[in-house]
Amino acid sequence: RRGEMAKSTQLIDNEVFRAYATYTAIVLLKMMLMSLITAYFRMTRKAFANPEDTAAFGKGESAKKYLRTDADVERVRRGHLNDLENIVPFVGIGLLYALSSPELSMALLHFRIFTGARILHTFAYLIPLPQPGRGLSWAVGYAVTFSMAYNVLKKVWLV
């Protein structure tokens, strides 16, 4: 039994899996960064969503005016939601792909392009860059995830 246990955790020694772990950690940390950017803009723009968050700025009516939406805050929040919509499929499908014995070079290509595309997407959203900058970076990440899904389904299809 101990032997079993030791073996089953060795997945982390597989190079494709290590690549998956590296890039998944990077894109998830990048996504988490959006929370800090949102908090930064909420505080500098004084634009909050909850009454209890404005208590530090005074009581009653004087604090109520900070319960508002702000264009910069909303922009970061849209970027964050777009991350969720695109990074969740990458993490899920990428895990299946990493476990489907792809070539390391092909796997690295997928993971690197996706990660680069999502970092570009964040810059394109927050600067903001003129279109089709953001649209293209979104589409590249989308296509990479689609390509991984195709490779997974080709190997495991069991309906």
Q: Residues 17, 20, 22, 25: what is their CA dihedral angle, to the nearest 10 degrees?
A: -120
Per CB under 8 A, contacts with a copy of itself among 97-136 are 99-101, 128-131, 134
Per CB under 8 A, contacts with a copy of itself among 38-67 are 49-50, 52-53, 55-56
Per CB under 8 A, contacts with a copy of itself among 140-159 are 142, 145-146, 149, 152-153, 155-159
Q: How distant, in Å, are the alpha carbons of 107, 119, 156 from that of 99?
A: 11, 25, 11
Residue spans of alpha helices (H) in 45-70: 61-64
Give residue for tokens 């997945």: 11
Determine the 3-state secondary structure of 123 from DSSP.
helix
Token pair for 132: 């089709």
Point out which residues bind a copy of itself (CB under 8 A).
1, 4-5, 7-19, 21-22, 24-26, 28-29, 31-32, 34-35, 49-50, 52-53, 55-56, 75, 78, 80-81, 84-89, 91-93, 95-96, 99-101, 128-131, 134, 142, 145-146, 149, 152-153, 155-159
